[in-house]
A and B are shown apart, each in its own frame.
Chain A
Amino acid sequence: AQRVTQPEKLLSVFKGAPVELKCNYSYSGSPELFWYVQYSRQRLQLLLRHISRESIKGFTADLNKGETSFHLKKPFAQEEDSAMYYCALSRSYNTDKLIFGTGTRLQVFP
């Protein structure tokens, strides 16, 4: 069965510190991986996806098939990065359900 694991419920850092939110997945095929973010009192929104290889708001994520990981990184955290982050997997590049992890709350202190 497909599964996404986010081992940290909460990650707290100071402004300007590097951030890494961990995501591991299990899937025997070729997955499409996503990071979604939910800011306070806002809806869930796409931050980035593996296939686009873009850097959004300074965040990057690299798919490591050997380690089955898709960790989210940012070199210098900002207070406005404080939010709930969800890693998600799709079995297809076309329409399919997203399988989400349990999420990591990032708190960035001033």
Chain B
Amino acid sequence: EAGVVQSPRYKIIEKKQPVAFWCNPISGHNTLYWYLQNLGQGPELLIRYENEEAVDDSQLPKDRFSAERLKGVDSTLKIQPAELGDSAVYLCASSLENNEQFFGPGTRLTVL
């Protein structure tokens, strides 16, 4: 079992450019989470999916961030356009109904 898979692991872009992150959760996990982790902070939820439905996106900055989980399996998180303050680690996690969340390795984004 590979666990939660994320790609890319690292991304460097210039401000105002678009960027996308991909996540494949553990097989059978209906719930998928995207977290943002700033330097020196704990992860903070951006969006949570139950199957293909976004059930908590209250912390997602919808003017520039979007996410999708079309078939209820893998998911994509997009930023367009990126800003300097978006530099952070983007974590994906998945869980069963017991809320034991398994995390991916994260994508480290640097915006220049």
- Residue numbers of A with Cβ under 8 A of B are 4, 32, 36, 43-46, 49, 86, 88, 90, 92-98, 100-103
Q: Which residue of B48, B91, B104, B106 contacts A95 across the interface (Cβ within 8 Å)?
A: B48
Chain B interface size, as a band, is 20 to 34
Contact B48 A97 (CB under 8 A): yes
Most chain A CB neighbours (cut-off 10 Å) among B3, B33, B43, B48: B43
| Residue of chain B at shortest CB distance from A86 | B42
Find chain B residues with CB under 8 A from A32 CB: 99
Shortest Cβ distance from residue B11 to the other chain A in the assembled complex, whole angstroms: 17
Residues from chain A with a CB closer than 8 A to the CB of B43 are 44, 86, 98, 100
Interface string of B42-54 (1 = CB under 8 A from A): 1111001010000
Do A94 and B101 touch (CB < 8 A)? no
Q: Is A43 touching B106 in the complex (CB atoms < 8 A)?
A: yes
Number of CB contacts from chain A to chain B under 8 A: 52
A43 to B50, CA, bound (A): 23
Known contacts A49-B100, A90-B99, A92-B99; A97/B33 CB under 8 A:
yes
Does B95 touch A at the CB level, under 8 Å? yes
B1 at the interface (CB under 8 A from A): no
Point out the residue from A88, A95, A97, A100 that lies within 8 Å of B50, measured CB to CB.
Answer: A95
Q: Is the CB of B33 within 8 A of A102?
A: no
* A90-B103 Cα distance, complex, nearest whole Å: 16
Main secondary structure of the interface of B (DSSP, over half): loop
Which single residue of chain A is at the shortest CB-CB distance from B105? A43
**A45 and B42 contacting across the interface, CB-CB below 8 Å:** no
Residues of chain B having any CB pair with chain A under 8 Å: 3-4, 31, 33, 40-45, 48, 50, 56, 91, 95, 97-106
B44 touches A93 (CB 8 A): no
Contact of A46 among B31, B33, B56, B101 (CB under 8 A): B101
What are 23 of the A-B contact pairs (CB < 8 Å)? A36-B103, A43-B3, A43-B106, A44-B91, A46-B102, A49-B100, A92-B99, A93-B99, A94-B97, A94-B98, A94-B99, A95-B48, A95-B50, A95-B99, A96-B48, A96-B99, A97-B33, A97-B48, A97-B56, A98-B43, A98-B45, A98-B101, A102-B42
